[in-house]
Structures are given as C-alpha cells and as structure tokens.
Amino acid sequence: MADETPIVTPATPAQPQKPPAKPAADRLVMITGATAGIGRAAAEQLARTGCSVIVVARDPRRGAQTVEAIRNASGNDNVELIVADLSLMQDVRRVSGEFAKSGRKLDTLVNNAGVKLAHRTVTAEGFETTLAVNHLAPYLLSRLFKTNLAGDGGGRIVNVNSFMHRYGSVDLDDLQRANGYSELNVYSSSKLLSLLATYALARKWKPESVFVNAYNPGFVRTNMSGGGIVGVGSRIFAKSPLSAGQGLAYVATSPQVEGSAGGYFQSTGRTKPSSRKSYKEALQTRVVQATKSLLADV
C-alpha cells in the first residue's frame, strides 16, 4: 500500500502567486558538502548552467581545489568558497554572517553535507556529531538564511535526505543518543528528524515565498557507502554521484520546481511519498521545538 499523500499541494488563491523563473545566469546557489560525491557533482552542474555557486567546505585545501576544478570544468569563474565546519553551530552562524557582509541575495540554499559515523563522537559544543551535521546544521542554516531568501521574489531550500529515513526513529528524550549508539539507526534517525523539520518549515514558510523541499538521491556510490555487503552492493548496483548530482541541481534551479514546497524529490525530478511517520504534523512540530531548544545556547 502506498504511503500517505505528501504535503505538496497546488497553489490556491490564498497562496502567493508562482514566481517567475530566474535565468540560471542570475541565480546564486550555496551548497554545503560540495568537495566530493553528490555535492561536488551538483556544484559543477550548477556552474555549467551558468549559476554563481558558493561552495561551503570544512577543509580549506580541498575546498580551494574543488572551486578551481569546478571553474576549469565549467568555464564559469563565478564559483567561490566559504570554509566552515558544519558540526559546529558557531561556524554555521559565521557562514551566514560572512554572506550577509556581501549584501547579495541568495536564490537557493542546498543543505547537502552529511556524515555517517561508526562510533559516537561529541562536538566541542556538546552535540552528538551525526545529529549536529545531518540535522542541526541544515535547520539552523535554513533559519539564518530565511529572511534573505524571502526577499526579491523568494528562494528555495533543498535538504538532501535519504531513503534510510524510513528506518529511523524519534526519541525526543534522547536526541543525542547517549543511551545506545548504532551507526545505521543514528544516521537514519538524523535523516528522519531532518525530514520532519523540512516539512514543518515548508508548510510555514511557503506563504513567505521560501520554498523548502527534500531530495532523496537514492542508492549512490559515495564515501558513506562503507564496506562489507553495503559497500559491495553500492559498487555494483548504485547510481553514480554524477547522476544524483544532476538531479539535485535540477531540484535546486529548475523552472519546473518553481513554487513547489514540501516535496520529497527523487533524482528523476519527480516527487514520491516519504514514510508515513514523516507526515505526522504533531511530530514535526515537536521535533522543531526540540531542535530550537537544543540550539538556544549556541
């Protein structure tokens, strides 16, 4: 039996009019986690279409190499770097602060950075690292850029998710996983938390012309595939990062996606339902409240 219908709905008279699509050459896109895999492929595709691209990367050397490689491959010099460790919320805030100084309007924020860790680690700010990178950082970055994105015709936020969210769980009393850690469960749960928050923000921000969607790249050959059976399977059956990255670039900028919110997009550019639990509005609200509480002191 199919999952529940997603919250994507046709525009109604009460909703803002669908904004006209911007030409690619006029678009400014920020993408996190763009030094490898899906993010790297998406950033290059965006640059090839003429977008100005801001790469957010943790490692200065790899970030600079990525920017240079994208410029060379695309023939587009409008590619730049912001260095930030997105496991640290103070760095997330610094990304917003650095961008604000430029006085520019951002058209699309792509929250792509993610981790899957075999063992529990805690950041300098006291957050479990998978939770910090996969959920807290994209949520906070989205909130920090919301006002900027809402101006001058609106903007988009694309949160890269995973089909693995279906296997996640929400324990609002132990979001930090202090009472038991399993790599796959913690990763899956972080993606479920992110998806629940994505849908909550999509519903809340659409009237302000900030259009929030999730993107599921599917089973992709990336550094997070790991070893063992999963790693072997990814090498045989998984799609390439190039294919997944092109799908991500499509959701980030395509005129066909203009005005859509709350979609669970696939690499084909079409939407499919996510898990039933991800559409529970009461749970979405509680996750957002718990997330705000965690971030209150950083």
Whether residue 235 is predicted with pLDDT greater than 60 in this model: the reply is: no
Q: Which two tokens stand for residue 103?
A: 């006085």
* Angle, in degrees to the nearest 10, between helices 37-48 and 60-74: 40
Q: How far is CA 14 from CA 9, 65, 146, 207, 291, in A?
A: 12, 47, 21, 9, 30
pLDDT band at 217 (very low <50, low <70, confident <90, very high): very high
pLDDT band at 219 (very low <50, low <70, confident <90, very high): confident
**Count of helices and strands (H, E) across the chain:** 9, 7
- How far apart (Å, rounded) are the C-alpha atoms in residues 298 and 296? 6
Of 240 and 197, which is predicted with more confidence?
197
pLDDT of residue 32: 98
pLDDT of residue 48: 97
Which residue bears the tokens 């917003």? 96
> What average pLDDT score do residues 186-204 get?
98
Domains and CATH numbers, the chain: 24-295 (3.40.50.720)
**Residue count (the chain):** 298
- How far apart (Å, rounded) are the C-alpha atoms in residues 106 and 29? 6
pLDDT (tens digit per residue) in 37-71: 999 999 999 999 999 999 999 999 999 999 999 99
Q: Which pTM value belongs to this model? A: 0.89
pLDDT band at 220 (very low <50, low <70, confident <90, very high): confident
* pLDDT-above-70 percentage for the chain: 87
Residue 181 among the catalytic residues: no
pLDDT (tens digit per residue) in 283-295: 999 999 999 999 9
pLDDT (tens digit per residue) in 162-174: 999 999 999 999 9
Q: Lowest-confidence range among 177-186, 233-242, 265-274?
A: 233-242
pLDDT of residue 245: 96
Whether residue 19 is predicted with pLDDT greater than 70 in this model: the reply is: no
pLDDT band at 20 (very low <50, low <70, confident <90, very high): low
Whether residue 12 is predicted with pLDDT greater than 60 in this model: the reply is: no
140 three-class SS:
helix
Name the strand (E) or helix (H) holding 216: strand 210-216
pLDDT of residue 231: 47
Q: How many CA atoms within 13 Å lie on the side-chain side of 42?
A: 34
Of 4 and 133, which is predicted with more confidence?
133
pLDDT of residue 13: 39
Determine which one of 139, 187, 250, 264 is catalytic: 187
Average pLDDT in the chain: 90
pLDDT band at 7 (very low <50, low <70, confident <90, very high): very low
Whether residue 236 is predicted with pLDDT greater than 80 in this model: the reply is: no
Whether residue 182 is predicted with pLDDT greater than 90 in this model: the reply is: yes
> What average pLDDT score do residues 97-114 get?
97
Whether residue 233 is predicted with pLDDT greater than 60 in this model: the reply is: no
Whether residue 78 is predicted with pLDDT greater than 50 in this model: the reply is: yes
DSSP 219: S
Cβ neighbours, 10 Å, residue 23 = 11
Whether residue 81 is predicted with pLDDT greater than 90 in this model: the reply is: yes
